[in-house]
Amino acid sequence: MDNMDPSVQRTVEFLEIKDHIDSLRNETNGTLANFGSGFASLFERLDRLEQTVEVGLGNLYAQNDGKNSASSSTSGQISFTSFLQRMFPTDGGSMGANPEKEVESRIIQLQRERDQARANVQSLQREKEQECQTVDRFRVQQQEQIDALQKRYMASELQKQKYQESSSKLRDIIVKNSSDDSEPVDSAITLSFGELRDLIQRIVHKHYTNMPRFRKAGNSMYDRQRKKFDGWYERDVPDSMKKYRSRAILFELLNEEILCRNWFGLDGTVEHNLARFEEDIAAIAESGDGNTADVAEWRKRTIECASWLKIECARPKAAAINVAQFMEPLLPTSSKSAAQITPPLELLMLQLCEKAHQLSLLLRRSKSRYTYENLKRGTVIDEYNISDISPQAFDGPELEEPLGATVAFTIFGALVKYPDLTPDERYVLERSHVVLTA
């Protein structure tokens, strides 16, 4: 390199710059898929380097115009043409008679490749913009669909609430318009019974979701709660089954706290003593020393007279507190707050217990006998009891039909009527909702 002609040395420098241009072009081609802002800077660098090469080569050619190519090389020196041939080889291995033009053509070729790369990038950018626009349209359409579904859901909830209010008013009208000597209408009874079942389902699905592992509630019912809930987690019961079981426990608690008790619409000591008195005379009547019809008539008239006092019974409120506390271990928790019985849940529990109390009084106004009946766990479903049940789900593998399956547990018991005039006859007004297992 020390023996090189200065013009040749400058040529070498410019050709090294050309190699740098090639490397930048390769770098650009390798990063086309990134769509980044780096393309603009790379192309600016290419433009500046190519301009430098063109200016340098132009000056170099001007300096070499007056020289004789035959005397350009001496011992240990390299000619300008040989360097061009070495740095810009052609398919034939020779630069030809006019290497300067060939260099210019190669530069033009590089410029075309650069322009093509730019065109490719612009095309890819346009495709990217089109895809982004398509995604935005899909997002807008999806949000519109979600908004429409939410509006439909809210409208259906409002309509459902109106239907429930209308049915409650209808039931109250039917009960109120019944004469003193008439029996409660079965349709009003089944309507009230269905409302009770629907309200339990609503409470569970609204407040007992994503149930955590059982935890101690910190009250006197813990041992009983533990026996009821612990088994759910020993075999990893699915959330859907936990909800069914929660509904079953709510019905069981409601039955124990209100439905199975002898109410007269009073409160305190008078209510308690009347209930004990009814138990005593009913036992005497069943032993044959009395008349069960007289007991039913006395009960009906006593409840009717008690209603004149318009006493507000405190039992539904106390029962609502007990039920809510018992179910407390199944309330969801978060990282920010512990489980707690919220005012909306308290209100729903109170509404549930009040409806149960009203239904109990309605049934006890009748001379006929109404009972809530459950099929025991493990009962096999056959042609005799299949008409008593309404299967809601299978705990485990599902069978094609309930015949031959067994009862896993009862979600909500059946409402059964034994008429006053024909007490041996049995009418299932509402079937028992059960979960079956193979």
Q: Chunked in runs of 10, what are the mean pLDDT values of the chain (438 residues)?
A: 56 63 62 52 63 62 50 44 52 57 75 83 86 86 86 85 77 57 81 93 84 54 66 66 88 91 89 91 87 88 90 90 86 64 88 94 91 90 90 86 90 92 86 92
Predicted confidence at residue 179, as pLDDT, reads 44
Q: Are residues 391 and 358 in the same domain?
A: no
Measured from the Cβ of residue 190, the count of other Cβ atoms closer than 10 Å reads: 15
Instruction: Determine the Cα–Cα distance for residues 102 and 107; give it in Å rounded to an integer.
Output: 9
Task: Determine contact, residues 175/362, Cβ cutoff 8 Å.
Answer: yes
Query: For residues 50 and 21, is the Cβ–Cβ distance under 8 A?
Result: yes
- Alpha-carbon span 408 to 437, nearest angstrom: 6
> Could you give the angle at the alpha carbon of 97 between the alpha carbons of 91 and 103, nearest 5°?
60
Nearest to 303 by CA among 329, 271, 326: 271
In a domain, 302, yes or no: no
C-alpha to C-alpha distance for 415 and 429, rounded to whole angstroms: 6
Alpha carbon distance 184, 370 (integer Å): 11
Q: Report yes or no on 76 lying in a domain.
A: no
Residue 435 forms beta bridges with which residues? 393, 409
Tell me, yes or no, whether 188 and 257 share the same domain. yes
Q: Check residue 274 and give its pLDDT.
A: 92
Q: What per-residue confidence (pLDDT) applies to 211?
A: 59
Confidence (pLDDT) at 110: 77
Range of 135's domain? 109-173
Instruction: Give me the pLDDT at residue 171, please.
Output: 66
Is position 400 within any domain? Answer: yes
For the chain, the maximum distance between any two Cα atoms, rounded to a whole number of angstroms, is: 149
Q: Are residues 195 and 336 in the same domain?
A: yes
Count: domains in the chain: 3
354 & 231 share domain: yes
Asked if residue 75 belongs to a domain, the reply is no
H helices of 4-98, in order, are 6-30, 38-64, 80-87
Residues 338 and 408 in one domain: no
d(CA 280, CA 273): 11
Q: CA 392, CA 398: separation in Å to the nearest integer?
A: 11
Backbone angles phi, psi at 327, to 5 degrees: -85, 0
Q: What is the pLDDT of residue 54?
A: 61
Residue 293 within any structural domain of the chain? no
Residue 258 shares a structural domain with residue 207? yes
Q: State the CB neighbour count (10 A cutoff) for residue 200.
A: 23
Among candidate residues 122, 139, 173, the one where a domain is terminated = 173
Instruction: Indicate the residue among 327, 347, 366 that finishes a domain.
Output: 366
pLDDT at 85: 52
- How far, in Å, CA of 362 to CA of 192, rounded? 9
Strands 432-437 and 389-394, how do they pair? parallel
Residues 234 and 116 in one domain: no
**For residue 424, is it within any domain?**
yes
Distance CA 221, CA 203 (A): 21
Q: Which among 348, 366, 384 is the end of a domain?
A: 366
Q: Residue holding tokens 């429409």?
A: 148
| 144 and 242 assigned to the same domain | no
Residues 162 and 235 in one domain: no
Residue 390 within any structural domain of the chain: yes
Same domain, 147 and 188: no
Residues 126 and 138 in one domain: yes
Which pLDDT score, from 0 to 100, does residue 325 have?
Answer: 86
425: helix, strand or coil: coil
Phi, psi (rounded to 5 degrees) for 146: -65, -45
Regarding whether 194 and 251 lie in a shared domain, the answer is: yes
Closest by CA to 107, choosing from 56, 32, 68, is: 56
Asked whether residue 68 is assigned to any structural domain, the reply reads: no
Strand order in the sheet with 432-437: 389-394, 432-437, 406-412
